[in-house]
Chain A
């Protein structure tokens, strides 16, 4: 069962993981990814957003006790990313489940609003002005932090061109209705065939946007070990290979929940990939990711051991 994460539409990177080729381990799977939970969360859409988020937080607090394995992983991850211990670590662990529930609630309700209305939930947008200066195709690069899907939808709106979101193959088909919805300039591209890269190449050649997640290794030859909080962790190299081959920029984008329950969208400087420079660009990306996780440790939604994913 795939992680829901803001997740079941988990944008994955290009890799050797293809059907019929033997399944890569799905270490990011966990019990959250149930249609009933999506249905339940979506059923609260009639509530006002403040009330709905309060309810989501209460559910998050209660739910973490139901997932001891995930809680243990979150704890060990936070030990590395924050150096916290004792009561502070306990609070951070609770914070991850609280923030996950909050963003999850928005994923299946707020995010489903027309893009033009999403802007009302954004308190600040940093670096988005550079989108206007970027001509031609680009790759939007984000991660399972905050409300990444909203980042993608806002980018599609601001970039004013079709956005092709690469999603992981779903094991539970009935989850799709809750997390995917083509339209509003967003098209989902299932990573179900090795030829998916051809569709992305063609889109970039037409000057469109390709959106991928850059924080989950897939256990394939496309993974590269890069220091993450001082320890080697596998990250997908695919997006960087694609950017180098097409000569297009990678545009990092993060959408983090603020204390006022509005989101702050951040788009750091675009990354360019020189010939043979895929690993260097990947390291720069991981540095950006490390920085955002350091500043928002409770909005890092990976419930597996990112340093040793196969072990999970």
Chain B
């Protein structure tokens, strides 16, 4: 998948699984921060990250099973795109 397609997949997951307003999801760009607690982030909490991870696995064909801290890879939409690209390259 190309980075733009992955970003679209993230937007789709936010709408379908996290019930985001489609217009809000459409405005998400690579700089958009994801976790709750960061200024101007989407405010995702731990339950949201479960759904986001499952949705990304499903749509992008990757498996999240790293024995490392994944927080940085899910800090922003762009970081998540990069993570998915790297995982797909390893596959």
Contacts and interface: CB of A to CB of B under 8 A. Distances in A.
Interface of A: 14-16, 18-21, 191, 193-199, 201-203, 205-206, 220-222, 238, 241-242, 245
A194 B48 contact: yes
Given A195-B70, A199-B70, A201-B54, 16 more contacts: A18-B36, A20-B36, A193-B71, A194-B35, A194-B44, A194-B45, A194-B48, A194-B49, A195-B74, A197-B46, A197-B47, A197-B49, A197-B53, A201-B50, A202-B65, A206-B65
Among A16, A19, A206, find the residue whose CB has the most chain B CB atoms closer than 10 A. Answer: A16
A205 B50 contact: no
- Interface SS majority for chain A: loop
Nearest to B65: A205
A23 to B, nearest CB: 12
Contacts of A220: 45
A14 B64 contact: no
A19 B47 CA distance: 15
A17 B71 CA distance: 16
B82 to A, nearest CB: 15
B35 to A, nearest CB: 5
A244 to B, nearest CB: 9
Given A198-B74, A202-B64, A16 B35 contact: no
Contact of A201 (B35, B36, B53, B69): B53
Interface of B: 35-38, 43-51, 53-54, 63-67, 69-71, 74
A276 to B, nearest CB: 13
Contacts of A193: 35, 37, 71
A196 B44 CA distance: 12
A14 B35 contact: no
Contacts of B71: 193, 195, 198
B67 A195 contact: no
A16 B38 contact: no
